[in-house]
Amino acid sequence: MSSEPQPLKSWIKLLEAGKKITTHRQSDENIVYPLRRTFRPAAPDIAKGSLKRDFEQGLVYYVGDEVENDRAACGLSRLPPTGRSYADAVAKKRVILEDAGVFKKAGYDKKKGTFDY
């Protein structure tokens, strides 16, 4: 029996979320193609969820109704003056990400919102 501690449930949830948006899972495909060499993808599974949010809206956390209500309760504008209020800034970021080769090298499909590997 292994004495290694089990990862925390919340961490497993985060990892699974990353795997869910990955088209080709090397661990599964290695069973079908045992001679294929595995490689380290640019974006690790554990960070894919937050990277996807960053790619889509320019920030790591979404602003939903609950957040808007919390902000209003603290005397702030419902929407922060971040990329959440400036769609143009997010559009520019996506142009930079594209031009810098981030989407391509990270294997990110902009239309589907998934990673190849």
Partner 1 sequence: MAAAKSKDNSKADGAENGIAESGVKSVSSAKPTKYGYFLGCVMPVKMPWAEKATMTVSKHLGLDFDYMKETLCCVRPGVWKAMNPDWWLSVTAQNLANAEKQGITIVDTCNGCWISHYESLKELTEEPEKLKMVNEHLGKAGMHLKGDVKVKHYLELLHDDVGMEKIVASVVRPLTGIKVMRHIGCHARKHDETLPNDFDEILRATGVEIIDTPYDKTCCGLLLYFADSNQAILERIGKKMMTAQALGVDAYVIICSGCYDQFERGVKIYREEKGIIFETPIIHIAELLALAFGYEPEDFGMTKCRPIAADKFIEKVRAIAAKNAKAAVEKKKGGESL
- Find the shortest distance in angstroms from Cβ 80 to partner 1: 3
Q: Which residue, among 45, 41, 43, 39, has the nearest Cα to 16 in the 3D structure?
A: 45
CA atoms within 13 A on the CB side of 17: 14
* Nearest-angstrom CA–CA distance, 113 and 22: 9
Site for partner 1 in 63-92 (CB under 8 A): 63, 67, 70-71, 73-76, 80-84, 86, 88-90, 92
Site for partner 1 in 39-68 (CB under 8 A): 42-44, 46-47, 50-51, 54, 58-63, 67
From 4-12, 19-27, 28-36, 109-117, span contacting partner 1 (CB under 8 A):
4-12
